[in-house]
Amino acid sequence: MSRAVATNRSSDPENASTDLDAVLTDNAARLNAILGRWRSEDGSRKLPLPLARAPETATLDTAQSQPQPESQPPAAAAPVPSPQSLPQPGAETPAPVEAPSTQAIPAPEAPSTQTKPRPKPATKRPRAEVPVLETPAPAAKPNLSAPKPELKAAPLRAPSTLRIEPVAAPLSQPAIARPTGTGKQQGELWAALIASKRAIKAVGWFSCLINILMLTGPLFMLQVYDRVMTSGSISTLVALLGLTAALYGIIGVLELVRGRLVTRIGVEIDQRIGDRIFESALKKSVTNSGSPIGAQRELDALRTFVAGPAPMTFFDAWWTPIYLLVIFLTHWTLGLAATVGSALLLFTAYLSDTRSRAALLESQKAAIKSVEIAETGQRNAATITAMGMLSAYRNRWQKFNQEALAWQVYASDRLGTISAISKTLRLLMQSIMLAIGAALAVKGDISSGSIIAATIIFGRALAPVEQVIAHWRSSLKAYESYKKLAELLNDVPPLAARINLPTPKGRIDVDGLRVAAPESRQLILSNISFKVEPGTMLAVVGPSGSGKSTLARALVGLWPPFAGTIKIDGTPLQQWNTEDIGQHIGYLPQDTELFSGTVRDNIARFRTDVSDDEVFAAAAAAHAHDLIMTLPKGYDTELGSFGQHLSGGQRQRLALARALFRSPAIVVLDEPNANLDRAGDEALAAAIDDMRKRGQAIVLVSHRVQAIQIADTLLYLERGTQKAFGPRAEVLKLISGQPAPPATPATKPATAPATPSQARAPAPPSTPSAA
């Protein structure tokens, strides 16, 4: 309805207000529909909404394990299967890899109104020494096509309990339990906070002095009413005023220093843990769908909270009992009234937590999801616009955006109500304090100055409580950010210090390699074995989906092997330092991406200790120097985000120059000629010939015949298994049944290791080289 009104909006001024009212009414009805859905579903809920669990992480495990007989021995006594007994990925459905420390989460039962006894938890299986591949038993899929009750607009009123259903929760993957942010890695984040304990103690001492000096005002009023008003001494008034002004000046200086200290504490925390979080987020995004930008936002939220006024509020809150004690010293009746009022305000603070925490967390999660969808749409704006996907994609974003707005409205209503109640109680209690003080003064129990002093102290005692309520939303956001960062550091522990190994020569030995997808734990490659000698080229071929790109990721260390070994110069890849071995590897991924910066920065891998000659040498090795000189500013041309103003072939050739920077011993090229024209193919072939002459080991993944013809050895993959490996001519005969094109002998042959379990072509005396 709102779209029709918006598109057919009349230019008549008299109808402008009517159109706006219609839009606002329609938006309110949509929010009421969402809140009505929560209310209608609340009656069938067994438990309230979890306070700190994202709905999208609550995936269901449809592959439930079968119950074991009572006489069956425990799982720890089962023998570890041999590699031959593990399932192969050649089947139509690859077997999921069960994580060693993960237990399957059973699918939730349908809600019921009857109370059922909670079953006893099953005995946990002992952790096995080696991960075991298991094929889960088929389970009944939930009925996702069941008709949903019609949503009706209802008055915008907060439901008694909350519930929000996960949107597009994956049901086909088994849930993998993730460790929480506790333990050693949580201590790593906590240590970054505690490292500023001296500054934190200083803030505490400054807060102590400030709160003591806050008694200046009440004492000044007490002396004015009890001494100046009775004696009429102007000199006493001037002396009291001067002393009070000096003390207030000290309070101002202490507040300034305390604020600057808190700001610098936040900056120090960012400097201590920022690099670690950035690296952990990047490493996790390699094997996960997470975004490093999200981790940086969480760090910004935590730093902003620490450097803001909220922590000082918690320092001031400890002085509330002391202020109440001072009021008790004035008169016990006033102290009792102040204690009751403080208890009421503390109760409202408790209500603000229990009645708004879940709504605030769900609003943040839905807002994060909508922001991710918007960012993805901006990166793919050309595809969305060209294919007419704008309306459908906007509706998908609007779905999560409305979800976030509904939760925000709901939480704001509750927080606003509690905040109004607390302010009303504070004003009422101050008036009650004045009334009680006046009654006591009439009786002669206290002086008139004590009335004003006790009222001011009472207001100061209640101020931190109100500030805690006002900063409660930011406190919850900081707490969630802390937990997410601790979980990130827990998932990506710091690498242990390793010895710097000698510069590799480029010999690659792969034996019994098995690779599983990091997220789904689906086995992709099984029993892959081959060798690549320096100065030779291995071409990896096979149909789409056979695992060629997965093999390339495993060779450069992006995806860790599930089983088997990858050795470089006889040393397992896991024993090499990541930064050191990365400098000796040139990698051109299938999805070529350039970074924001100049052409020179991209080729030099953003290193600062690089000379211009090294950059020119890398461009010449990729035969891309002439291409770079055609750009507007040559090597100083700014590429922008992802180098979008360049063609696909230009990006690939610049990325090839980056891969060949400083002549790495190993070069892994994944579809390097996918976007190249004939001139680009010729430049690639010439670059590969130069690599051979320099003694570099080359692994090339391609479907092009031109790339296959210049290879020394071929590795043929099909459905994740190795079908053939050996000299190019022999493998081509094996897979096609036709003679291979003639080739001239070149470098030393790379003989295939004998493995009877895999089909291989016999190695001839000499190895053919380039056609």
**Which of 485, 475, 487, 488 is closest to 306 using CA atoms?**
475
338, 461 in Cβ contact below 8 A?
Answer: yes
pLDDT for the residue numbered 51: 34
675, 648 in Cβ contact below 8 A?
Answer: yes
pLDDT for the residue numbered 359: 81
Q: Which helix (H) or strand (E) holds 508?
A: strand 508-516
pLDDT for the residue numbered 620: 93
Pairing assessment for the beta strands 713-718 and 523-532 based on DSSP bridges? unpaired
436, 337 in Cβ contact below 8 A?
Answer: yes
Q: Taking the C-alpha atoms of 163, 169, 175 and 178 in order, what is their torsion angle to the nearest 10 degrees?
A: -70
Specify the length of the chain in residues: 771
681-711 burial, b at 16+ Cβ within 10 Å, e below that, comes to: bebbbebbebbbebebbbbbbbebeebbbbb
Per-residue HEC secondary structure of 340-395 comes to HHHHHHHHHHHHHHHCCHHHHHHHHHHHHHHHHHHHHHHHCHHHHHHCCCHHHHHH
Amino acid at the residue 120: K
pLDDT for the residue numbered 25: 61
**Which of 709, 692, 725, 682 is closest to 771 using CA atoms?**
709
105, 173 in Cβ contact below 8 A?
Answer: no
Query: Degrees (nearest 5) of the Cα angle 741, 525, 572?
Result: 95
Q: What's the CA gap between 566 and 528, in Å, rounded? A: 10
Q: What's the CA gap between 507 and 696, in Å, rounded? A: 9
- 320-470 — its CATH code? 1.20.1560.10
Q: What's the CA gap between 93 and 445, in Å, rounded? A: 87
Q: How many contiguous H segments (helices) and E segments (strands) does the chain have?
A: 25, 10
Read off the DSSP letter of residue 741.
P
pLDDT for the residue numbered 249: 94
CA distances from 744 to 369, 386, 581, 741 (A): 57, 49, 33, 10
Q: What's the CA gap between 460 and 455, in Å, rounded? A: 9
Using DSSP, state whether 566 is helix, strand or coil. Answer: strand
pLDDT for the residue numbered 60: 33
For the chain, residues classed under CATH 1.20.1560.10 are: 320-470
Summarised one tens digit per residue, pLDDT across range 54-78 is 334 333 333 333 334 333 333 433 4
How many angstroms separate the most distant Cα atoms in the chain?
121
Using DSSP, state whether 604 is helix, strand or coil. Answer: coil
Catalogue the long-range contacts made by 653-656 (C-beta closer than 8 Å, 24 or more residues apart): 653/622, 653/623, 653/624, 653/627, 653/680, 653/683, 654/594, 654/599, 654/602, 654/603, 654/622, 654/624, 654/627, 654/628, 655/588, 655/592, 655/593, 655/594, 655/602, 656/588, 656/622, 656/624, 656/684, 656/687
Q: What is the DSSP string of 657-711?
A: HHHTTT--SEEEEESTTTT--HHHHHHHHHHHHHHHHHT-EEEEE---HHHHHT-
> How many CB atoms neighbour CB 213 within 10 A?
14
Low-confidence ranges of the chain (pLDDT < 50): 1-14, 16-17, 20, 23, 42-186, 740-771
pLDDT for the residue numbered 9: 41
476, 373 in Cβ contact below 8 A?
Answer: no
CA distances from 259 to 30, 252, 279 (A): 44, 11, 31
Backbone torsion region of residue 87, taken as left when φ is above 0, otherwise alpha when ψ lies between -120 and 50, otherwise beta: beta
Pairing assessment for the beta strands 713-718 and 721-727 based on DSSP bridges? antiparallel
Angle between helices 472-491 and 357-379 (to 10 degrees): 60
**Which of 287, 282, 181 is closest to 520 using CA atoms?**
287
Query: Degrees (nearest 5) of the Cα angle 393, 395, 396?
Result: 65
pLDDT for the residue numbered 37: 58
pLDDT for the residue numbered 585: 93
pLDDT for the residue numbered 31: 54
Using DSSP, state whether 296 is helix, strand or coil. Answer: helix
Alpha helices in 390-516 (DSSP H): 390-443, 448-470, 472-491
pLDDT for the residue numbered 275: 87
**Which of 557, 529, 548 is closest to 719 using CA atoms?**
548
* Straight-line distance from the first to the last Cα atom of the chain, in angstroms, rounded to the nearest whole number: 68
Backbone torsion region of residue 485, taken as left when φ is above 0, otherwise alpha when ψ lies between -120 and 50, otherwise beta: alpha
pLDDT for the residue numbered 654: 93
Pairing assessment for the beta strands 537-541 and 713-718 based on DSSP bridges? parallel
Strand partners, 745: 768
Amino acid at the residue 666: I
228-241 burial, b at 16+ Cβ within 10 Å, e below that, comes to: beeeeeeeebeebe
Read off the DSSP letter of residue 492.
S
Sign of CA dihedral 105, 106, 107, 113: negative
Using DSSP, state whether 195 is helix, strand or coil. Answer: coil
Q: What's the CA gap between 38 and 407, in Å, rounded? A: 10
Q: What's the CA gap between 751 and 732, in Å, rounded? A: 16
Read off the DSSP letter of residue 606.
T
